[in-house]
Structure 1
Amino acid sequence: MKTLLPPNSTELERKLAEVGKDAFDLPSIRIIKDIDQVPAQFLPFIAWQKSVDYWDENWQDSLKRNVIKNSLEQHRIKGTAAAIKRALEPFGYEVKLIEWFQAEPNLIPGTFNLELDLIGKSLDQEVYNEISRLVSDAKAASRHLTNLTITTNPILTIRNILVHQTALTYTSEPRA
C-alpha cells in the first residue's frame, strides 16, 4: 500500500488510512474537480471555496461555471487592465481600455478611459451598476476611471427576422 504516512505512524493511523483510501475514488469527489459536471445547486459553495469575489444567483449556469473556472487567474491579475477586460468579457461585452499614457493627449497619470460595446444588449440601470461594480472590483485602487463610453446596439426581432437598430452611445464626461 502506498501512503503519505510517516514511518513512525501508529498501527491505528495505518488502519484508518487503509479504510479511507477508497474515499477519493468516489464519483462525487471526482465530479467536484470538473466544474462542468457539478450539479447547479453546489455551484455557490464551490464559488465560495474558490474565492469568487462576486456571485449572483440570477446568472445563467454557464456564466457561473465560467466565473468559477476563471477565479484563480482573475485573482492573479487583479489590479491590471487585463483584469478589467476579463471581468467584463464573460458578459459578452467588447472592451477597450485606454490607460492615461495611451491617450492622445495624455490623461492625468493613474487614470483610464473605458469603451464598452454591449453587442446587442440593452442598457438599463441594473446593467450600468453591474459594469461599475465589475470595473471597481477589478481595477487597482490607485487607478481611476475618467471616462466611460457605452455603445449599445439592441437587436430587434420582427417575425423571425433580425433587425439591427441604430447604435446608441452614452459617454460620461469628466467633471470640470
Structure 2
Amino acid sequence: MIYTSILPPASTPLEKALEQAAASVLDFATPVRDVWSPAHCPAGHLPWLAWGLAISHWKTGWTIERKRAAVADAIPYHRRKGTRQAVAEVLTDHHPAFQIVEWHEANPRRTPHTFEVRAPAAEISADFLTVAKAEEIIADIAVAKPARAHFDFVQNLDLTSGMFMAAAGMSGTVARSDYGAIHDE
C-alpha cells in the first residue's frame, strides 16, 4: 500500500512514528466497501457480514454461493419477515413438499392466528425428516413467522383406498325332526 501522511508538515517525529505504527496495524487487505458487499466480501468474513445484517437462519454448512445469496437477500428478507411468504420461503429451502394451512383455511376453522405446517410423509422420505431436521425446520419457522402466530408441525400420511362390497345369498329349507323310541312298560 502506498502510504500518504495525513499529518501537517510541522508534525513532530513522535507523531510521525505513531502514524507509521498505526498505518501498519490498520493496513487492511480488503477495503471496507468490499467487506459490506456480498459479491466481493472474502469468504471468511461472510459470517460476520451475516451477523451484521441479522441473518438468523445462517447455516455453516451452506456453500459459498448460498451464503452470498443469503447475505444479498438479507434486507428484502427482513421486509418479508413475519408474513406467510417468509414462512413459505423457509419451507421451500428445506423441501418443496411442505404445506401451510392457516387457521381460516382449515375445515373446521381453527383458533385465529394459528397455522399448521404439514409434512406429507408420502412425498418426504423418512431419511430426510429426522428429529434433528424437524427441530431445525421448527426453529427456522419460528424466526420467519409473525410474532403473534402459533403453529403446529404435523407429519401426515394421506391414504386413499377403494371399498368393495360383495354379498352372496342362498335359499333353502332346513327341517329337523327328532325321532326317539318310546318304550311301554
Superposition TM-score, scaled by structure 2 size: 0.57
Shift of the 79–115 alpha-carbon distance from structure 1 to 2, 3 Å rule, reads same
From 130, 135, 146, give the equivalent of 1:140: 146
1:75 alignment partner, SS class: helix
Please show how residues 1-176 of structure 1 align to structure 2 within 5 Å: 28=31, 31-32=34-35, 34-116=37-119, 122-149=128-155, 169=157
Contact 2:115 2:150 (C-alpha < 8 Å) held by counterparts: yes
Matching residue of 1:173: none
Structure with greater strand percent: 1
Greater CA deviation, 26-35 or 105-114? 26-35
Contact 1:96 1:116 (C-alpha < 8 Å) held by counterparts: yes
Give per-residue Cα distances to partners, 1:12-44, cap 9 Å, x unaligned: 9xxxxxxxxxxxxx9845644652343311111
Contact 1:93 1:116 (C-alpha < 8 Å) held by counterparts: no
Superposition TM-score, scaled by structure 1 size: 0.59
Greater CA deviation, 128-137 or 33-42? 33-42
Greater CA deviation, 114-123 or 34-43? 114-123
Tell me how far 1:56 sits from its aligned partner. Answer: 2.8
Percentage of pairs with the same residue: 26
Unaligned runs of 5+ in 1: 1-11, 13-25, 151-168, 171-176
Structure with greater helix percent: 1
Rg: which structure is higher?
2
1:148 alignment partner, SS class: strand
Greater CA deviation, 68-77 or 85-94? 85-94
2:49 alignment partner, SS class: helix
Tell me how far 1:74 sits from its aligned partner. Answer: 2.0
Give me the whole-angstrom Cα distance separating, in 1, the residues matched to 2:53 and 2:153: 32
Shift of the 119–65 alpha-carbon distance from structure 1 to 2, 3 Å rule, reads farther
Give me the whole-angstrom Cα distance separating, in 1, the residues matched to 2:69 and 2:93: 8
Give me the whole-angstrom Cα distance separating, in 1, the residues matched to 2:60 and 2:78: 21
Contact 1:63 1:90 (C-alpha < 8 Å) held by counterparts: no
Opposite residue 134 of structure 1, the aligned amino acid is: D
Matching residue of 1:8: none
Give per-residue Cα distances to partners, 1:118-167, cap 9 Å, x unaligned: 766612122111101011111122211135236xxxxxxxxxxxxxxxxx
Contact 1:83 1:139 (C-alpha < 8 Å) held by counterparts: yes
